[in-house]
């Protein structure tokens, strides 16, 4: 259970503070703390000490819309809702307001502003009960899918706002809080399958869970990201353009010389054929060829031009 708690009047009163914390301790849930910046740090320190003494693995999440380092020093919250990353993702993928280079600078600034352990616990979202829904902002499910793919590639913990995975729409609050659509006939089945595959990819590759993050390419509307872990490298290519694009970027794995990797991306991608050479295309467009990063690597494709390559040989398609 993820429980929300809002600031209460009178928390400066010791009795009220103690009763509030006792009530929270009785629930022993996973706490989301609403507008947490409106409560003093001393209260949250006491809140954490009390609840963690009862349940050490209890998860405490704060709603902070700006830089949250004062709450993330290990004595208050485990994570905060990563709204600065949300805005950057939406500006690039959904709204097209910034180019790839600006987007990479914004993400780098966010990652550099926190210690590694904070970034690894970040609560990454592309929408919430306080913001318009992803597909409403993007106006194009393919753009929304790329935003979701990046959400699962970014260091931290991806959180899916209920209904985004089934194609729910919604404007500003309260329109974004429509009841969940449970009828399968009214759900977007292909989008739901896409999200299931994202979850599967994230769970099956350690590099996507706890690997280092770096940009290999960020120009125009194209991005290349590498996540690196002891178990191997994961490369993710984004062609966020309506036209086919040919990307060439440097790859510098720790165990080999610096080769060149060449990738051709189309706006709608289908499936890979083998680990040496991959043909991609749509029903109405001639196929293009992807040259793998190194021999033996698997190429995994995503809708709207995203390409993900790993050091494993198991073929998986999006």
Catalytic annotation, pick one of 18, 34, 271, 288: 34
Strands (E), 210-259: 212-219, 222-229, 232-239, 245-250
Q: Are 193 and 159 in contact (CB under 8 A)?
A: no
CATH: 3.50.50.60, 3.20.20.80, 3.90.1150.10, 3.30.2350.10. Which one for 2-204? 3.20.20.80
Q: In the chain, which residues fall in CATH 2.60.40.1180?
A: 210-310
Digit-coded pLDDT (tens) for 89-122: 999 999 999 999 999 999 999 999 999 999 999 9
Residues 6 or more apart whose CB falls under 8 angstroms from that of 2 comprise: 29, 30, 31, 32, 61
Task: Report, as an integer, the average pLDDT of 271-296.
Answer: 26
Residue 12, pLDDT score? 56
Task: Report, as an integer, the average pLDDT of 7-11.
Answer: 51
DSSP per-residue codes, 128-194: -TTS--HHHHHSSHHHHHHHHHHHHHSSSEE-PPTTGGGT----STTGGGPPP---GGGS-HHHHHH
Catalytic annotation, pick one of 38, 63, 67, 141: 63
Residue 245, pLDDT score? 67
Query: Is the pLDDT assigned to residue 11 strictly greater than 90?
Result: no
Task: Report, as an integer, the average pLDDT of 151-163.
Answer: 95
Query: Is the pLDDT assigned to residue 60 strictly greater than 60?
Result: yes
* CA gap 310, 134 in Å, rounded: 28
**Greater confidence, 258 or 4?**
4
Residue 18, pLDDT score? 59
Fold of 210-310: Immunoglobulin-like (2.60.40)
Task: Report, as an integer, the average pLDDT of 260-281.
Answer: 33
* Residue 293 DSSP class: S
Q: In the chain, which residues fall in CATH 3.20.20.80?
A: 2-204
Say if strands 245-250 and 260-265 run parallel, antiparallel, or are unpaired.
antiparallel
Digit-coded pLDDT (tens) for 229-254: 887 777 787 888 877 666 666 665 44
Q: Are 101 and 219 in contact (CB under 8 A)?
A: yes
Q: Does the active-site annotation cover 175?
A: no
What is the chain's mean pLDDT, rounded? 75
Name the residue among 255, 245, 221, 238 with its Cα closest to residue 309.
238
Q: CB 210: neighbour CB atoms within 10 A?
A: 13
Q: Does the active-site annotation cover 63?
A: yes
Query: Is the pLDDT assigned to residue 212 strictly greater than 90?
Result: yes
C-alpha distances in Å from residue 278, one per residue of 34, 128, 145, 169, 259: 47, 37, 22, 35, 18
Query: Is the pLDDT assigned to residue 85 strictly greater than 50?
Result: yes
Query: Is the pLDDT assigned to residue 213 strictly greater than 70?
Result: yes
C-alpha distances in Å from residue 261, one per residue of 157, 220, 258: 29, 19, 10
Name the residue among 115, 121, 40 with its Cα closest to residue 73.
115
Tell me if the pTM is above 0.85.
no
Asked whether the CA dihedral 180, 120, 39, 131 is positive or negative, the reply is: negative
């Amino acid at each position: 259970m993820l429980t929300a708690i809002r600031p209460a009047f009178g928390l400066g009163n010791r009795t009220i503070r103690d009763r509030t914390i006792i009530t929270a301790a009785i629930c022993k849930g996973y706490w989301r703390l609403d507008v947490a910046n409106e409560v003093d740090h001393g209260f949250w320190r006491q809140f954490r000490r009390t609840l963690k003494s009862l349940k050490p693995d209890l998860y405490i999440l704060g709603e902070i819309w700006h830089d949250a380092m004062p709450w993330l020093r290990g004595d208050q919250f485990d994570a905060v809702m990563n709204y600065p990353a949300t805005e950057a993702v939406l500006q690039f993928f959904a709204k097209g307001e910034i180019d790839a280079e600006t987007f990479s600078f914004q993400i780098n600034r966010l990652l550099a502003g926190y210690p590694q352990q904070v970034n690894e616990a970040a609560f990454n979202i592309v929408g919430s009960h306080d913001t318009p829904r992803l597909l409403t902002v993007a106006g194009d499910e393919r753009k929304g899918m790329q935003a979701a793919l990046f959400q699962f590639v970014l260091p931290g913990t991806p959180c899916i706002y209920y209904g985004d995975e089934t194609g729910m729409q919604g404007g500003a609050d309260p329109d974004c809080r429509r009841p969940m659509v449970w009828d399968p006939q009214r759900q977007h089945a292909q989008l739901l399958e896409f999200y299931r595959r994202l979850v599967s990819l994230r769970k099956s590759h350690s590099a996507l869970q706890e690997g280092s993050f770096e940009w290999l390419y960020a120009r125009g509307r194209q991005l290349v990201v590498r996540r690196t872990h002891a178990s191997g490298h994961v490369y993710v290519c984004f062609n966020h353009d309506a036209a086919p694009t040919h990307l060439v970027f440097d790859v510098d794995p720790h165990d080999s010389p610096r080769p060149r990797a060449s990738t051709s991306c189309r706006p709608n991608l289908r499936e890979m054929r083998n680990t040496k050479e991959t043909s991609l295309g749509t029903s109405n467009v001639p196929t293009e060829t992807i040259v793998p990063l190194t021999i033996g690597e698997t190429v995994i494709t995503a809708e709207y031009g995203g390409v993900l390559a790993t050091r494993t040989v198991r073929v998986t398609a999006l």
